[in-house]
Structure 1
Amino acid sequence: MAASAPRVFVSHLAGVPVFDPNGDELGRVRDVVALLGGRRRLPSVLGLVVEVVSRRRVFLPMTRVTGVESGQVITTGVFNIRRFERRPNERLILGELLDRQVTLLETGEEVTVLDVGLQRLPARRDWEIDRLFVRKGRKGRKGGGLRGRRGETLTVEWDAVTGFNLEEPEQGTANLLATFEQLRPADLANVLHHLSEKRRAEVAAALHDDRLADVLEELPDDDQVEIIGKLADERAALVLEAMDPDDAADLLGELPEEDKDRLLDLMQPQEAAPVRRLLSYEEGTAGSLMTTEPIVLRPDASVAEALARVRNEDLSAPLASQVYVCRPPDETPTGRYLGVVHFQRLLREPPFALVGALVDADLRPLPPTASVSALTSHLAAYNIVSAPVVDEGGHLLGAVTVDDVLDELLPEDWREEAAVVGLPGFSPGTQPGDEEQPAYGRGQRDG
């Protein structure tokens, strides 16, 4: 580490890129792993949790870190790329220590941990926790800040406090969420997935409904069920309303029948209606996989209006690839389905042109009973990423996108098991775990 920066606070490490000696980016730091109960007076910093290709999280030992400077981490370029699994005696500093309530030994005052300082030992590559940045004062009952005025902040030595090994009933989340505020929902979902069950529930409870809905859509089914089950029923219904109807239906489909019915009854009728329709279709069919909120336009809408709808940043790329032209009503199930207009066609036409004159009526719509195999063949045959689903009366029910089909075809743990390629020490034919592994000892651990 550079002599000018002997210490770093973990909040400055969150999300910073990790480079090899050649300047190639390997991933980004998502957390720091520490051993709080070792033989040393100060806790050992074992390594970094680095998010690499396909959102896989791997462990980078601190002995492989050659520099932490200018918002980047430099590594030797060789490390184990097996998926990171936290061991029982290890703690995630960002995920578990921030917002922790501890006690100052000298005065007995309770303080909240705002940041954690790491220091590299002289003439070695070992690191340890030596400082804490804290705020005086007790938290409110819900763990969301201080009562009254914000307390005094100060930096203290690690061994000037006690209480890290005590079970804390309610740990705050303000500083953790501030650290990860800029993360995309998929990345924040990955953060939550690797936290303890207790910490995951605390963070989920602190997120705004819309943010939690976006994050839930990116989590594995087990995590979704766990989180929604820990929310009050009224809050759970609000979060389900904020989710895309197909994702909400998938989540509710994993719940016991009585829980599913209770939450549906608590949702606003207009929000629950499309979810109920999706749940009525047999699992693994176009009806169960489709979204009920594609871009629907009347035939007298202009190209300018269509492009304005396509520009909506909340739309996924497959949904924004084409608009569906239908007679009124515009909400699914719509009036008579007329056809689609592809995004590229919209770009080639004048803004005042009407979409009704541009429809592609040759693309055969799918029935809601179509199987996953039929969906796959249909998307491949027409070289498209989205397809309309229409009932027997010719009404548009929704659209199936390629990501919906992939989610159905891929194994449940595909987010965890995605292959990693392009990293130093990993080449085609090499299995994760075959790479060089650091020895365990002196603050090190293997993958």
Structure 2
Amino acid sequence: MVAGAPRVFISHLSGVAVFDPNGDQVGRLRDVVVMLRIGGRPPLVLGLVVEVVSRRRIFVPMTRVVGVESGQVITTGVVNLRRFEQRAAETLVLGELLDRRVRLTETDEEVTVLDVSMAQLPARRDWEIDKVFVRRGKGGALRRRGEALTVEWSQVTGFAAVEHGQGAANLLATFEQLRPADLANVLHHLSEKRRAEVAAALDDDRLADVLEELPEDDQVEILGKLAEERAADVLEAMDPDDAADLLSELPEADKERLLGLMEPGEAAPVRRLLSYEERTAGGLMTTEPIVLRPDATVAEALARVRNQDLSPALAAQVYVCRPPDETPTGKYLGVVHFQRLLRDPPFALVGSLVDTDLRPLPPDTPLPAVTSYLATYNMIAAPIVDESGSLLGAVTVDDVLDHLLPDDWRESAGHGGMSPVQDLEEAPDAR
């Protein structure tokens, strides 16, 4: 490779925008595909995994890449929007090489891969992996622990071996800023082995958020690979309705065992949700809406609405009830919409602002009736009240959409915005 040839560390490419020749954004880079070669030869970079606006992952050959610079990737020619499927001879850099334990050929010392760089070959469009950024483990007295260094690819061995118990710290650092739904999409496209390793490295709250965004099969697979005590902790960190949906997919014995390991106070609302039919208001609702007593002030209500952990749908309105003010509550009095809270003075009592015109729904209301209710009254959440008049929870529009969309909607190219190159779907496969 000649001096001055372009080189880039691949972790720096994670999430960067990918543009077509017209300057329209195709999507964002999620990984780099390479082919390992024998004899210590540097791996050949085959192409990029790009996530388009609809969350579909496509393959862009490196022969179509004309620029990798300034936090962006420029492509040329026709982009094929066929879904990327990893082939047997292919390796994903971010998904499979980071955190791998390998050995330095000169000293046989075990090191951990933090990053790798790729460089463009002279006078060609081809790219190769040329250098590896590694961290040493515990060394001798003259070598401080954790020393990091960059070495040539030929100075490292062990990438081809199957590694068990591979870490995930550097992979997670690469995707640290991703929203839970986007990180869930990353996990979904990893191998089963790598998915379990990444899940093990996430803290309980982050894993709970990600599980809520994954398809049911992935949820069950990941939960099944966790120690039972940790699985119970993660279920406690999930929203009760999402935890109930996940538990309903498990065999009865496993479900009861995990519920028994959960804190009683956390398990109780989940058990209540499991008692309702799946496609009813009771089965769809969350048991943690914002509940206030009638003598609470507008200022208190707005403080509760500001909670960053609330979804926008739950923050859109507060439910006014007699004590107790945790579900199931005392008598349900009505709802106060966020816009009304903004119009009234901070000292006003929410009990004087309730909207009593909208009837609440009973827990056995079927899904089509819940959908019609939200559409008819232009609502994004509906109160669910039992025969005694106690508030049981609230059904939000996102709960309804989860059950109206196809089971594979998270993988479908039909949701979300459309890519500017969507019309090139039938382009010939360049691979």
TM-score by length of 1: 0.91
Deviations along 1:58-77, one digit per CA (max 9) or x if unpaired, are: 22221221111111111226
How do 1:247-258 residues align onto structure 2 when only pairs under 5 Å count?
247-258=242-253
Q: Which runs of 5+ in 2 are unaligned?
A: none
Deviations along 1:162-210, one digit per CA (max 9) or x if unpaired, are: 1111121211111111111111111111111111111111111111111
1:423 is paired with a residue whose SS is coil
Name the CA distance, whole Å, in 2 between partners of 1:137 and 1:297: 54
How do 1:156-195 residues align onto structure 2 when only pairs under 5 Å count?
156-195=151-190
In the alignment, what sits opposite 1:105?
105
1:398 is paired with a residue whose SS is strand
Question: Is the 1:303–1:355 Cα contact (8 Å) retained in structure 2?
Answer: yes
1:388 is paired with a residue whose SS is strand
In the alignment, what sits opposite 1:425?
421
In the alignment, what sits opposite 1:324?
319
Deviations along 1:299-331, one digit per CA (max 9) or x if unpaired, are: 111111111111111111111111111111110
Instruction: Give 1:255's aligned amino acid.
Output: L
The question of 1:67 aligning with 2:57 is answered no
1:31 CA displacement: 1.1
In the alignment, what sits opposite 2:118?
118
Instruction: Give 2:391's aligned amino acid.
Output: L
Q: Does 165-174 or 368-377 show the bigger shift?
A: 165-174
2:319 is paired with a residue whose SS is strand
Question: Is the 2:5–2:119 Cα contact (8 Å) retained in structure 1?
Answer: no
Q: Does 41-50 or 234-243 show the bigger shift?
A: 41-50
Percent of pairs identical after alignment? Answer: 76
In the alignment, what sits opposite 2:82?
82
Instruction: Give 1:113's aligned amino acid.
Output: V
The question of 1:153 aligning with 2:145 is answered no
Question: Is the 1:295–1:323 Cα contact (8 Å) retained in structure 2?
Answer: yes
In the alignment, what sits opposite 1:296?
291
Instruction: Give 1:96's aligned amino acid.
Output: E
Instruction: Give 2:422's aligned amino acid.
Output: F
How do 1:370-389 residues align onto structure 2 when only pairs under 5 Å count?
370-389=365-384
Name the CA distance, whole Å, in 2 between partners of 1:55 and 1:422: 10
1:4 CA displacement: 6.0
Question: Is the 1:9–1:116 Cα contact (8 Å) retained in structure 2?
Answer: yes
Q: Which runs of 5+ in 1 are unaligned?
A: 140-147, 439-444
Return the match for 1:279 from 274, 277, 297: 274
Question: Is the 1:425–1:435 Cα contact (8 Å) retained in structure 2?
Answer: no
How do 1:11-410 residues align onto structure 2 when only pairs under 5 Å count?
11-37=11-37, 41-76=41-76, 78-137=78-137, 150-410=145-405
1:363 CA displacement: 0.7
In the alignment, what sits opposite 1:144?
none
Name the CA distance, whole Å, in 1 between partners of 2:168 and 2:346: 48
Query: Aligned pair count?
Result: 425
Name the CA distance, whole Å, in 2 between partners of 1:227 and 1:70: 37
1:56 CA displacement: 2.1
Question: Is the 1:37–1:89 Cα contact (8 Å) retained in structure 2?
Answer: no
For residues 345 and 221 of structure 1, do their structure 2 counterparts lie closer, same or farther at Cα, with a shift above 3 Å needed? same
For residues 149 and 203 of structure 1, do their structure 2 counterparts lie closer, same or farther at Cα, with a shift above 3 Å needed? farther
**C-alpha RMSD of matched pairs (Å):** 1.9
2:54 is paired with a residue whose SS is helix
Question: Is the 2:36–2:90 Cα contact (8 Å) retained in structure 1?
Answer: yes
2:411 is paired with a residue whose SS is helix
For residues 399 and 29 of structure 1, do their structure 2 counterparts lie closer, same or farther at Cα, with a shift above 3 Å needed? same
Question: Is the 1:339–1:359 Cα contact (8 Å) retained in structure 2?
Answer: yes
Name the CA distance, whole Å, in 2 between partners of 1:138 and 1:207: 24
Name the CA distance, whole Å, in 2 between partners of 1:132 and 1:391: 62
Deviations along 1:248-283, one digit per CA (max 9) or x if unpaired, are: 001100111100000000000000000000000012
1:384 CA displacement: 0.8
Instruction: Give 1:425's aligned amino acid.
Output: V
The question of 1:10 aligning with 2:6 is answered no
Name the CA distance, whole Å, in 2 between partners of 1:212 and 1:315: 17
Name the CA distance, whole Å, in 2 between partners of 1:4 and 1:343: 58
